[in-house]
């Protein structure tokens, strides 16, 4: 499986819940530093910052609500759709880097 496919799979799963999202955001934080993976580092950082905003807002809300074990309803209602769109967009930027390398 290619690196692109690995990231695509992670991106598809990233919005499943708050913890998958937080892990995805952490794993993608420094990918912009690898020019073989990311063609436009500035665009990557701008987009990644949006991921981090969602991450921070969701984590703060989860903590404010007492860190419940099942927070899926709040995540799905308030964050999941936007998180999925951002993850898809970020992973697509990796595709741009892959296609430019060939």
The structural domains of the chain, with segments of one domain joined by +, span 3-101
pLDDT of residue 7: 83
Residues 54, 79 contacting (CB under 8 angstroms): yes
Write out the chain's pLDDT in tens, 102 residues: 466 678 888 899 999 999 999 999 999 999 888 888 888 999 999 999 999 999 999 999 999 999 999 999 999 999 999 999 999 999 998 865 544 444
Residue 43, classed as helix, strand or coil, is helix
The model carries a pTM of: 0.85
């Amino acid at each position: 499986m290619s690196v692109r496919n690995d990231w695509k799979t992670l991106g598809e799963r990233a919005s499943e819940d708050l913890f998958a999202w937080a892990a995805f955001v952490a794993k993608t934080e420094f990918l912009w530093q690898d020019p073989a993976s990311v063609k436009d580092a500035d665009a990557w950082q701008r987009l990644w910052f949006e991921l981090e905003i969602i991450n921070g807002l969701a984590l703060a809300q989860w903590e404010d609500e007492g860190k419940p074990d099942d927070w899926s309803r709040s995540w799905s209602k308030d964050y999941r759709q936007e998180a999925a769109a951002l993850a898809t967009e970020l992973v697509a930027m990796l595709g741009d880097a892959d296609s430019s390398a060939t």
